Amino acid sequence: MTAATAPARLARREAVLWQLTLLEIRRYLRHPLYLLGVALLLLSVAGMVASSGSDQSPLSAPIAPAFLMGVFGVVAAAQLAASGRRLGRGAGAVPLPERTRSLALAVAFVVPVLTAAAWLATFLVIYHVNPPADGVWWFGPLSAGHVLSMLVGTTVVSAFGGPALGLLVARWVRWRPAPLVAALLLVVAGMVTQGSDTFPRTVGLLMPWTQWSAGVTDGRAVYYGGSPQWWLVYALALCVLAVLAAMYRDPDADRPRYRVAAAVVVLIAVVSVSLAATTGVDHTRYLPAATASGS
Amino acid sequence: MLRYAAWSPGRAQVVVGTGLVAVLLLGVAESVHLWRALGLAAAVSVGVGAWAMDEPSARVVDAAPRSLRWRTVARVLGLAPVATAWMVFAHHASGQPLPLPASGRGWPLAATGVASVLLGASLATVLRRRGWAAPGQQVAVSVGLVVAALGAFPKHLWLHLALFPIDGDADWAWALRFWVGALGLSLVALVVATSEGTQLPPAGRSRVT
């Protein structure tokens, strides 16, 4: 009898997870912070349209989706996780295990991810159709794979990483301002370590968001060292690790399995960040501002 | 009133917030590299201003004889440490030699600090008036994060909303006008929201805890 009902139970569990995921997606779409982030992203798209082809460099523009979907997402996801828990507590016995709710919320992070992806696609289309003017800081002679890894890692992956951190904070810390403090620390850490003369590049690469390029005042673009392809793997590993750590806290978690999975992901993260620091561009490069056709 | 301000429920937030703002402003004053933290300091100030207006015992206190205006004035006075941190920073930074972007810009910096604190306080007070007992966190989160975002990448937004003129060619006069306007609007909102005769629509859901 058990063997006969097991597939049915599994199918039912999957159906419940899917329904819960749809519910979490709707909640994420309606969250005020997500809507504020989208509004500001639209302002940044309008800024791109207005400044494309001009003498303003878009090199640092990827910070917009990283901040608006990632940093805002830390707080939004934490609030969604906390309100879900409050609802469960208010309802008494909840038929769904908390790990299912965590998983559904993690899948709902597809909302900020797709939003950031849409922003990135718009960015690429705008600057393909109307490239920056001659002499503007741009990606120079870097390969397409290099540039795409930089852009995807610092926009789309950050849009998942921020909410994943929010879920992690919500599951482990019951202090109300904790998500806001986490968001603040994330921003401060980024400001202090990125493009800094104080910290070595390795520290910058260890952060969950890293800056790959900037402009300098004498008309050259600066590209920081490292391999963005390997850093992309590292950032993805951090995202998976955050979700695993959040689910580990759930009362009904399958902890032995999570420990093994986390160990594997930590290993991947260590190897990939080591490779990110030791391969790719081996030092900070200063390139003359490329012409649009040279990009 | 001063005793109430010193012992109001929001004092812990004010102490922690003042420390955070002071650390961020110290970083800004010491390193050109950290100039983007100016927006973060303003965001924290918005958050502190809002959080300090929370009234966990609203159901009891709002029925007491002391008016919302009296309590709001006391709590705004309690925000003096945050405003003082900004004043000290503005005075220090305006006397710095170039190339610090704030050289000679004491007034815009002072206006930024005072306006951001009052912006948070006034928004939270309006929500308090609408029956929300503890709106501080929501105001801190939404308005604070938007202010931080505007500080992080002003150049990449339409119209270059340079609330924090980080780059050399940024428009300090525009920033000064914006923050003085925000300061004025915040003061008007505080007066209107705490006026006995003002009728504001209640918040959509009961927020009294």
Q: What's the complex ipTM?
A: 0.80
Q: What is the pLDDT of residue B208?
A: 40
For the beta carbon of residue B115, count every other beta carbon within 10 angstroms. Answer: 28
Q: Is A288 helix (H, G, I), strand (E, B) or coil?
A: strand
Q: Which residue is listed with tokens 């800056």?
A: A211
CA-based nearest distance B128→chain A, Å: 19
pLDDT at A3 over 60: no
CA-based nearest distance B119→chain A, Å: 18
- State which of A10-14, A85-89, A143-147, B8-12 shows the largest mean pLDDT: A143-147
Residue B156 lies in domain = 2-193
Q: How far is CA A61 from CA A117, A229, B166, in A?
A: 14, 19, 16
What are the tens digits of pLDDT across the range B30-75?
777 787 788 899 999 999 999 988 887 777 777 776 777 888 888 8
Where residue A192 falls among pLDDT bands split at 50, 70, 90? confident
Mean residue pLDDT of chain A comes to 85
pLDDT at B112 over 60: yes
Whether residue A48 and residue B145 make contact (CB cut-off 8 A), yes or no, is no
Q: Residue A238: in which H helix or E strand, if any?
A: helix A228-248
More confident residue, A75 or B104: A75
Where residue A93 falls among pLDDT bands split at 50, 70, 90? low
Q: What mean pLDDT do residues A236-247 have?
A: 96
Q: What mean pLDDT do residues A137-141 have?
A: 70
Q: Poorest-confidence range of A3-12, A57-66, A93-102?
A: A3-12
Domain membership of residue B201 (yes or no) is no
- State which of A165-169, A195-199, A291-295 shows the largest mean pLDDT: A165-169
Q: How many domains does chain B have?
A: 1
For the beta carbon of residue A205, count every other beta carbon within 10 angstroms. Answer: 23
pLDDT at A40 over 60: yes
Q: What is the pLDDT of residue A1?
A: 47
Q: What is the pLDDT of residue B203?
A: 67
Mean residue pLDDT of chain B comes to 82
Q: What mean pLDDT do residues A158-171 have?
A: 96
Sign (positive or negative) of CA dihedral A199, A201, A202, A205: positive
Whether residue A60 and residue B156 make contact (CB cut-off 8 A), yes or no, is yes
Of residues B144, B148, B158, nearest to A43 (C-beta): B158
pLDDT at B137 over 90: no
Q: What is the pLDDT of residue A35?
A: 96
With an 8 Å Cβ cutoff, is A121 touching chain B?
no
Q: Poorest-confidence range of A79-88, A111-120, A256-265?
A: A79-88
Q: What is the pLDDT of residue A293?
A: 41
Whether residue B141 and residue A33 make contact (CB cut-off 8 A), yes or no, is yes
Residues of B contacting chain A (CB within 8 angstroms): 20, 24, 27, 33-34, 36-37, 40, 44, 47, 137, 140-142, 144-146, 148-149, 152-153, 155-161
Domain membership of residue B22 (yes or no) is yes
Q: Let me know: does A126 contact A46? Beta carbons within 8 Å.
A: no
What are the tens digits of pLDDT across the range A204-222?
899 999 988 876 656 667 7
Contacts of A211 in chain B (CB under 8 A): none
Give the start-end residues of each E strand in chain B. Answer: none
More confident residue, A50 or A38: A38
How large a percentage of chain A has pLDDT more than 90?
48
Looking at chain A from residue 14 to 73, which residues have their Cβ under 8 Å from any Cβ of chain B? 32-33, 36, 40, 43-44, 46-48, 50, 56, 58, 60-61, 63-64, 67-68, 71-72
Q: Which of A159, A168, A179, A183 is nearest to A258 (CA)?
A: A168
DSSP state of A281: B
